[in-house]
Chain A
Amino acid sequence: MKLILHVWRQKNSRDKGRMVRYEHPTVNEHMSFLEMLDVLNEALIAKGEDPIAFDHDCREGICGMCGFMINGKAHGGFKGTTVCQLHMRHFKDGDEIYLEPWRAKAFPVIKDLAVDRTAFDRIIAAGGYISAPTGSAPDGNAIPVPKQDADLAMDAAACIGCGACVAACPNAAAALFVSAKISHLSHLPQGQVERDRRALAMVQQMNVEGFANCTNIGECEAVCPKQIKLEVIARGNHDYIKAAFTERPAGEVLGAG
């Protein structure tokens, strides 16, 4: 089939960028979306034109490296699908498709469709972990975890950190990403000790990075390739609000030092 693509081209973070129209006459329905772009890039290289830059790695929907807007929807808006797992059989001959990078202040464009998502790493560094230094662990079965809790933790832990939730959100909020991690760890007994501190620190860092607030629109849930549920945000808010009331800054704790 033949497609018309309009692709955001931006040489680097300082460039203003613009949409460029490409005709793509050799699309096969079994190709993945990224393979379709590979073929276009090969044609561009043959013509001596700069190929389109886009991030990708595993191409099986788990690394979270790929992602851009297809016709205004993150990853194309197909249920539970990253762009690398989206196949061209969902499109038809003659379709016009618009491709743009994630748009968010906290995700500056590097080139074309590739953006910088290191803000997510800094949010995790702020508190998205359980402090368990290597070698200090008790036996894996020492603390039973109810199956339901383990399952709910796993539902939230499935987040791949691709940033679609931010890109889809009219506020460019990172609530789904942040709450998925809070939710994952707070469903487990091992995560209780640092539960309050974690919620406060991650939300604080989220604000520092320039992500806006959540207003419960739900676009994030609709596009999440791992189908993380909006419920995690409720849990994230619960943990955050509770911690804001009860957690005292470290300096106020008696006996510190």
Chain B
Amino acid sequence: MELISHSPTGPIENAWDKHKFELKLINPANKRKYNLIVVGSGLAGGAAAASLGELGYNVKCFCYQDSPRRAHSIAAQGGINAAKNYHNDGDSVYRLFYDTVKGGDFRAREANVYRLAQLSVNIIDQCVAQGVPFAREYGGLLDNRSFGGAQVSRTFYARGQTGQQLLLGAYQALERQVAAGSVTMYPRMDMLDLIVINGQARGIVTRSLYDGSMQVHMADAVILATGGYGNVFYLSTNAKGCNATAIWRAYKRGALFANPCYTQIHPTCIPVAGEYQSKLTLMSESLRNDGRIWVPKQGGDKRSPNQIPEAERDYYLERRYPSFGNLVPRDIASRAAKAECDAGRGVGETGLGVYLDFADCIKRLGKQKIAERYGNLFEMYERITGEDPYTVPMRIFPATHYTMGGLWVDYNLMSTIPGLFVLGEANFSDHGANRLGASALMQGLADGYFIIPYTIGDYLANAKPGKVTADAPEAKQAVANATAITKKLLNGNGTRSVDSFHRELGKMVWDYCGMGRNEAGLKKALTLIPALREDFWKNVRVLGANEEFNQSLERAGRVADFFELAELMCIDALDRKESCGGHFREEFQTPEGEALRDDDHYSYVAAWEYQGPNQSPLLNKEPLTFNYVHPSQRSYK
């Protein structure tokens, strides 16, 4: 398949304006004749549904939670980037663009990233107008902080709850449209299949989580904004319900899946405590503004951290990367922590942890100032670990956090299935092989507020999708498919719970396709995962019936899809014989242990095409060209 990105040509500064002008419009009176489906109600989905409703389209929005306000965007703590340059410290749209392309290790599409940097500015304005209570300075103007991978302060924040406040802004805009009648909200719904008619996305099959009823919803276009697939690792910073089912079933209907092996391991999470652990909790990257990361110089040093004198501590990030110090990008900080722990210098009971120490900044700024900046994070840490970070350094360890890979989309955010659009973390487009902090919120809102409202109109005007009904054979077949999967899960006569399989799968993916990957491990994973998947279908035990509120059944369907996705991640990781960003192939590193890219052979987006059950997927390549930010060895030294 030839992948056409539809990236505009000409100077990048004007590309989006030029492109927008060339997009066809739909007149206001005609918009209400179009039905649109939005799956997911986080920053991307919520913003899209609200904005499209405002424009006059008929929108149906679906989420698996009991309310759209609970989407996992809500958990983002630290902030959102915008190239406002309010602080006169040298920021610009071009610099944000440059930092993001470089931060992504030169594996993102330049045109998309430039547009993202441009739109970052409008996002802040929009959110302020909605009443998002961003942090302010005493003069009443917006405050900023710094984040990893940047040397300017461009991150806007609302205490440690930025994602929550941005999401509530989008949610309130969405509810306003619900009241206006332009958006109908469907909470507690899982999307189980995509309906494709004449090659166009025309609807979805949903299962109500209240009573198990299968429903068909037809539309003129379908938008997936269902987030990432980090829960493939079982333990991650994602919410328990986050899943890849919508994008995975779209993949099986023909949408290409791009760069599945690009997963982000976040350096600052609370370490695992025991076997029963159900998820990992992030400690915001913003803590690295003031906290200093260190390990004891001597491996196996069992003294309490406050008893270890300064001279016997290794502030390894400050030592290895003097110019960025503790604010190196996430992939680099995570690998450095792993290296220290692998060398036996890790701390805590398990040895899988490093210290994040606030003693210096508390001395410099006072406890009150630090409490103002990070109070809620410190409290959260204390609640979980029982330790007081004001007096004892935090223990942190990397954990799966974000997935840069996702469904392939063109510049218009349309997948390879016409009429199927993919927004936010669910697509692959803007972060390359590594996402910089405070950029996920930016991308979700850019896609939802400012891109899809333009590009979807162009699609509808050109494609002129005709009338279809739920009686179409394709719709019936999709319902039959979803029903069959559910039945199969319930009819199993097995003995093992869904969670026990998920945990085992997660550990395999973490061991062989986690922070470090190598050929032998990936090949091993590619025999272990299918074997476990087979066992899952034979031995899983899902109690109860379909026609009820059945949380085990919900999870079983999601885990079934994670099995298949895990395999694709390993296939992709095996194929990419280079290291870049979050994809670290141990065979390919510089003498200092940094990621070693191979631009001559791998400067492409790997977009995988489904070929049927038990068939190897087909690799399609979208070559990447860099006209502005020229690929170089990423250096943060």
A interface list, Cβ under 8 A from B = 11-12, 28, 30-32, 34-35, 38-39, 42, 45-46, 48-51, 53, 55-65, 80-81, 85-87, 89, 110-111, 114, 116-118, 120-121, 124-126, 128-141, 143-147, 150-151, 153-154, 157-158, 160-161, 184-185, 187-188, 190-191
Contacts and interface: CB of A to CB of B under 8 A. Distances in A.
Interface of B: 47, 50-51, 54, 65-70, 72, 74-75, 84, 86, 122, 124-131, 133-142, 158-159, 161, 164-165, 168, 171-173, 175-176, 178-179, 185, 187, 210, 239-241, 273-274, 276-279, 281-282, 379-380, 383-384, 386, 449-450, 453, 495, 497, 499-500, 541, 543-544, 548-549, 551-552
18 contacts: A38-B278, A45-B552, A46-B497, A51-B543, A58-B75, A63-B65, A65-B70, A110-B210, A111-B549, A121-B187, A131-B176, A134-B47, A134-B51, A134-B450, A141-B84, A145-B140, A150-B136, A158-B159
Contacts of A50: 543-544
Contacts, number: 215
Contacts of A34: 278
Given A60-B281, A134-B449, A137-B122, A48 B130 contact: no
Contacts of A133: 54
Given A46-B497, A117-B66, A137 B125 contact: yes
Q: Top 7 nearest A-B pairs by Cβ distance?
A: A144-B140, A129-B172, A137-B129, A132-B129, A125-B175, A137-B125, A153-B133
A130 B131 CA distance: 7
A201 B255 CA distance: 44
A155 B72 CA distance: 21
B50 A134 contact: yes
B334 to A, nearest CB: 19
A128 B130 CA distance: 11
A234 to B, nearest CB: 19
A124 B551 contact: no
A128 to B, nearest CB: 6
Given A80-B379, A134-B51, A147-B136, A35 B70 contact: no
A57 B65 contact: yes
Given A48-B543, A62-B74, A132-B129, A35 B168 contact: no
The residue in B122, B128, B164, B543 that gathers the most chain A C-beta atoms within 10 A of its C-beta is B128
A245 to B, nearest CB: 24
A116 B187 CA distance: 10
Nearest to A30: B273
A35 B276 contact: yes
A58 B278 contact: no
A130 B66 contact: no
Contacts of A111: 548-549
Given A85-B384, A134-B126, A63 B178 contact: no
B286 to A, nearest CB: 15
Contacts of A46: 495, 497
B141 A144 contact: yes
The residue in B124, B133, B552 that gathers the most chain A C-beta atoms within 10 A of its C-beta is B133
Given A111-B549, A121-B187, A140-B142, 9 more contacts: A30-B273, A50-B543, A55-B66, A64-B70, A125-B176, A134-B54, A135-B122, A144-B140, A185-B131
Nearest to A117: B66
Nearest to B242: A57
A203 to B, nearest CB: 15
A161 B141 CA distance: 29
A89 B72 CA distance: 27
The residue in A12, A63, A190 that gathers the most chain B C-beta atoms within 10 A of its C-beta is A63
A38 B275 CA distance: 12
A102 B215 CA distance: 29
The residue in A56, A132, A184 that gathers the most chain B C-beta atoms within 10 A of its C-beta is A132
Contact of A61 (B131, B137, B187, B380): B380
Contact of B137 (A49, A62, A147): A147
A250 to B, nearest CB: 14
A42 to B, nearest CB: 6
Nearest to B168: A157
A39 B241 CA distance: 18
The residue in A28, A58, A114 that gathers the most chain B C-beta atoms within 10 A of its C-beta is A58
A185 B129 CA distance: 11
Contact of B453 (A12, A56, A87, A134): A134
A87 B383 CA distance: 7
B74 A146 contact: no
A79 B568 CA distance: 45
A231 B549 CA distance: 38
Nearest to A152: B133
A190 B141 CA distance: 14
Given A46-B497, A89-B386, A139 B125 contact: yes
Contacts of A60: 75, 279, 281-282, 380
B129 A190 contact: yes
A128 B138 contact: no
B240 A57 contact: yes
A226 to B, nearest CB: 9
A116 B210 CA distance: 10
Contacts of B239: 57-59, 63
A55 B178 CA distance: 24
Nearest to B177: A125
Contact of A128 (B175, B185, B276): B175
Given A42-B497, A134-B126, A147-B138, A118 B276 contact: no
Given A31-B274, A61-B380, A118 B187 contact: yes
Nearest to A191: B131
Given A125-B178, A134-B54, A141 B141 contact: yes
Contacts of A48: 543
Contacts of A129: 130-131, 172-173, 175-176
The residue in B51, B131, B379 that gathers the most chain A C-beta atoms within 10 A of its C-beta is B131
Contact of A121 (B139, B164, B175, B548): B175
Contact of A184 (B84, B86, B133): B133
Nearest to A181: B172
A138 B139 CA distance: 18
A3 to B, nearest CB: 14
Contact of A124 (B51, B72, B75, B172): B172
Contacts of A160: 164
